[in-house]
Structure 1
Amino acid sequence: MDTKNSNQLNRRKFLGLSALGLTGLTVLPSWTINGIKIAPSDRVVLGFIGLGQQALSDFAGFASVPGVQVVAGCDVDSMKQERFKRRVEAWQKEQGVAPRCDKYERYEELLERTDIDAVEVVTPDHWHALQTIHAMQAGKDVYVQKPLSFTITESMKMVRVANDTKRVVQVGSQQRSSGEFQKAIELVQSGAIGHIEKIYAKVGDPPKPLDLPAEPVPGNLNFNLWMGPLNDPNIHYHPDLCPPISLDPPEKEKLWGAWRWYTETGNGFTADWGAHMFDIAQAAIGMDGSGPAEIIPKGHNSQEYLTFKYLNGIVMTEQPYLEDMPGAQGIKFIGDNGWIEVARGYLACSDASLVPEELAGRRPRKMTREEMRKMYEEMQKSIEEGKGSFEISSPHMENFIESVRERKDPIAPIEVGASTAILCCLGNMATELKRPVTWNPATLSFGDDKEAWNHRLYHYDYRRPYKL
């Protein structure tokens, strides 16, 4: 920490270390990473809550940021705890740091560590609210994966606690830190294509009811703890929900955690990719911290696409942004004086002179099954080697660490993550109700719509003993 107050805080923290904190402390008095000597007051010590494949990817990103040390990991799967410990300790040895990464099954124990400055919450969405809130109340800054929350009420509560505790919270919508998306936002806001009339944002389908058969829970997994606050009696263990791994011989997850795709445990592509594409769309049209006023589901009165209408007249639809690539995630802004297309690694404009060559990238194209298999294998290999990630996040993580040091808002603060998560919930809510939903983004309310107020995506009763 490089400010006077931050240094004083670190000194008080050091003098007040508990026995638990002292036994967990692994950073050395002097420490060098990538040839850069880091002052003790500038180090940021991290713990991870959730240790699946996204955590491994994110660890690779944080490990590239000078001054970061990782000392602990928590997961309900003991094999994933051990895998993370091995990965971190191998990295520590490479950096000349005494290797030690402590393992926990219950995140509350990790939060008791007084030597930990910040945590990443990289668990399934239904755990984000409680773990982020408890981390902030324990005095930790938080990098929480997107979407911010599972329900609307959770997002609102998380924002209130962040304001009360004055903690730095970065939401893992890392496209905010990518050059092509930043340029797209700049062009829209500068009026480069005139007044924005329509936005096409392709994210994918909403969730579906859980249809996986029940299977026996493996001994290395505490599935009851994985469930946490979820109280739906239809939820049961299936390996697709919690993809298994092997340590000896090493065998990684064969698929992405399928909890995302089911109404009982996730919010589908609407939230998984909506937390990226809808997020950028709202940023570009000045709706950060706000949202749509009317949400119309696909199929209502022959409505072809899920539609979000804003009070400023802009209409955003969940639909293909490229006619020849209907499944590709991305965004198209349509103004009265041109258009802009943007996706990961791609930026184009009706006026090509407005797009810097280094940001143009390559237009998405259809890939053969063999090309997709090879790409996935290369991504997996890079993660195993600690060199890459499923989602390139290092600049986003660097922004978070800088914000922790300087006590300033990051590029994707919690208020932004909340407005995006709420939009995603509203989209699924209208889809499930099979009718339009009216939302007041200023008062965060549904008016007299009792059905919306009582919807599970606004709020649900946590399973005992959990409380929001």
Structure 2
Amino acid sequence: MKNISRRNFISKAAGAAAAGVFLPTLIPSSALGKAGTVAPSNRINVAFIGHGMQSGGHRGDMARNPRTQILSVCDVKLDVLDRVYGEVERINKDRGIGNSLQKTIHYQEALDRDDIDAAFIVTPDHWHVAISLYAILRGKHVYCEKPLTLTVREGRILSDAAKKANIRFQTGSQQRSEYCFRKAAELVRNGVIGKLKEVYISIGNFPPPLELPEMPFPEWMPKENYDLWLGPTPWRPFHTERIKGDYGGGWRRFWEYGARKEGDWGAHHFDIVQWAKGMDHSGPVKFCPAGTDGVPCRFYQYADGTTVYINPPGDMGKGKWGGGTRGEAIRFVGESGEVLTNRGNVCKVVPDAALGRQALKPGSTQLHPSMGHRQDWIDAIITGRDTICNAEIGHRTASICHLSSIALRLNRTVNWDPKKEQVIGDDQAASMLDRPRRAPYFLGA
């Protein structure tokens, strides 16, 4: 059954189940969707590509979610691939899913399957767009980790392709699905603290990139698999640190594979600022390195003057509403107060904490509610509605990561036209909106 017709069938079957329509008997109850289960024909078949540190929770949810089942796992690290295959195989067996699970080092083999409806992409950043685009062009729904892109230009290609294909795309900026961040964005959007003037964000720092000596290839990573891991990026001598999944460094510390901290924590927090300002289809106009206009940290600015300070010193911005960053990840400062938010369900308003506990007034802007980022994607596939963080939103946030990184690396201000998506008056900065790709690893190939 082709993917589009299968998705239509899933949607119709879900509606029939809700209406109390059931299939005939004479087959196992688990296949009928009885006893609290969902019929296999109603489940979304998922290919899972990439199994690093971020993938465990995603994989466990997709393997056990009553609406989904994993039918393909893909990774170039052979030991990881074998471990994950065994893990999912056991879960599938317990669920009565049969023996259709595939393992492969080639994402194309997984995404070319007619019975795959959707793809979960949890690779390093430099592979996000190529694999997502390959999936989209084959009619698959996509959940792709953040930051969505490696470059600004490839983000525009991806967003346009997702829209044209009319697939459900979710960027893994899961803070949008946390109540505290949605509440903070709604408070700011509805003017509870007056006109927004400044935002202070803490994203931390990585150690500098390393020059690594060459190591012999281990059994679990033959040379041809390492070539696949590098993909479109320049060839570099093999070293385990280069391909290591590590929230404190590993591949994340290298410019070749991402935007370092800008694309790590920055992708999360910049995204919430975009949401709070209602700028999901636009962005800032100026990106500045530390020292610009005497400011001790790097920052970017929107056309209305709102300035976002990145890793500000502890006493920066101290004013009548209080001092420093207060330890929160994001601090919104308005004309009449502040909204402070962080993970752990932190959302508070100063100086009037009661404002944060009040219900929004009728007619206020209410943002997309989500009961969970992965479930929001599944619900969107079933119902046909949009996700909370689609490809365009992911692209716009990733653009901030990349432009801030460009200003940092050039150590000068980069002026940006968010409507035309062009750098203004700086040819070198403009040339950094994309990167050369090592043959034969091209977009969508």
The normalised TM-score by structure 2 is: 0.83
Return the offset for 1:451: 1.0
From 277, 284, 294, the counterpart of 1:285: 277
Secondary structure of the structure 2 residue equivalent to 1:217: coil
Q: Show the counterpart of 1:226.
A: 229
Aligned 1:51-90 pairs, distance under 5 A: 51-90=51-90
Distance 1:78 1:124 in 2: 16
Question: Following superposition of structure 1 onto structure 2, how do residues 44-443 of structure 1 map, counting pairs within 5 Å?
Answer: 44-98=44-98, 100-205=100-205, 208-221=208-221, 222-231=225-234, 233=235, 235-243=236-244, 258-320=250-312, 330-345=329-344, 346-350=346-350, 351-356=352-357, 395-443=372-420
> Amino acid of the residue matched to residue 355 of structure 2?
L
Offset of residue 402 of structure 1 = 0.6
**Equivalents in 1 of 2:200, 2:239: separation in Å?**
35
Which segment drifts farther, 442-451 or 289-298? 442-451
Is 1:464 aligned to 2:424, yes or no?
no
Q: Distance in 1 between matches of 2:121 and 2:324?
A: 33
Task: Classify the secondary structure of the residue corresponding to 1:138.
Answer: coil
Aligned equivalents of 2:157 and 2:85: distance in 1?
A: 32
Alpha-carbon distance change, 129 to 255 in structure 1, aligned in 2, over 3 angstroms: closer
SS of residue paired to 1:355: helix
In the alignment, is the contact (CA less than 8 A) between 2:423 and 2:430 conserved in 1? yes
1:460 CA drift (Å) = 1.2
**Superposed displacement of residue 39, structure 1:** 3.9
Q: Structure 2: 5+ residue runs without aligned partners?
A: 12-27, 316-322, 359-369
Q: 1:31 to 1:174 in 2, by over 3 A?
A: farther
- What is the letter of the counterpart of residue 299 of structure 1? G
- The alpha-carbon distance between structure 1 residues 8 and 451, as it changes in their structure 2 partners (threshold 3 A), is closer
Q: Deviations over 1:334-374 (max 9, x none)?
A: 011110110101222112223349xxxxxxxxxxxxxxxxx
Offset, 1:57:
2.2
**Map of 1:17 onto structure 2:** none
Q: Separation in 2 of the partners of 1:29 and 1:66?
A: 14
Identity %: 34
Cα distance between partner residues in 2 of 1:400 and 1:121 = 13
Aligned to 1:241, the other structure's residue is in SS state helix
The answer as to whether partners of 1:56 and 1:84 remain within 8 angstroms in 2 is: no
Q: Is the 8 A contact 1:198 1:314 kept in 2?
A: yes
Tell me if structure 2 keeps the 8 A contact 1:186–1:284: yes
Cα distance in structure 1, aligned partners of 2:165 and 2:195: 39
Query: Given residue 230 of structure 2, which amino acid in structure 1 is its aligned partner?
Result: M
Q: 1:190 to 1:300 in 2, by over 3 A?
A: closer
Quickly say closer, same or farther: Cα 1:355–1:32, change in 2 above 3 A.
farther
Determine the C-alpha separation between the residues in 1 that align with 2:248 and 2:99: 30
Tell me which residue corresponds to 1:246: none
Q: Which residue of 2 aligns with 1:451?
A: 428
Cα contact 1:174–1:396 (8 A) shared by 2:
yes
Q: Secondary structure at the match of 1:264?
A: helix
- 3-state DSSP of counterpart to 1:200: strand
Structure 1 residue ranges without an equivalent (≥5): 12-27, 244-252, 358-392
TM-score for both structures, normalised by structure 1: 0.79
Partner of 1:20: none
| Distance of 1:214 and 1:326 partners within structure 2 | 42
Whether the 8 Å contact between 2:64 and 2:91 is mirrored in structure 1 is no
Give secondary structure in 2 for the equivalent of 1:451: helix
Alpha carbons of structure 1 residues 78 and 210: separation in structure 2 relative to 1, 3 Å: same
One-letter amino acid of the structure 2 residue matched with residue 353 of structure 1: A
Could you say what the CA RMSD is over the residues aligned between the two structures, in angstroms? 2.8
Q: For 1:445 and 1:327, how far apart are their aligned partners in 2?
A: 36
CA contact (8 A) 1:55 1:122 kept: yes
Shift of 1:409: 1.1
Pair 1:164–1:341, CA change in 2 (3 A): same
Letter in 1 for 2:180: E
SS at match of 2:136: helix
CA distance in 2, matches of 1:201, 1:45: 38
Corresponding letter in the other structure for 1:53: M
| Aligned positions, number | 402
Give the match's secondary structure for 1:347. strand
Residues 73 and 103 in structure 2, CA contact (< 8 A), matched pair in contact too: yes
SS at match of 1:92: helix
CA distance in 2, matches of 1:182, 1:157: 28
Q: Residue in 2 aligned with 1:390? A: none
In structure 2, do the counterparts of structure 1 residues 254 and 163 end up closer, same or farther at CA, with 3 Å as the change threshold? closer
Is this contact kept in 2: 1:200–1:321, CA < 8 A?
Answer: no
**Contact 1:33–1:95 at 8 Å: present in 2 too?**
no
Q: Following the alignment from structure 2 to structure 1, what is the Cα–Cα distance between the partners of residues 110 and 173?
A: 25
C-alpha change, 1:333 and 1:31, in structure 2 (3 Å) is farther
The 1-side partners of 2:314 and 2:375 are apart by 32
CA contact (8 A) 1:159 1:418 kept: yes
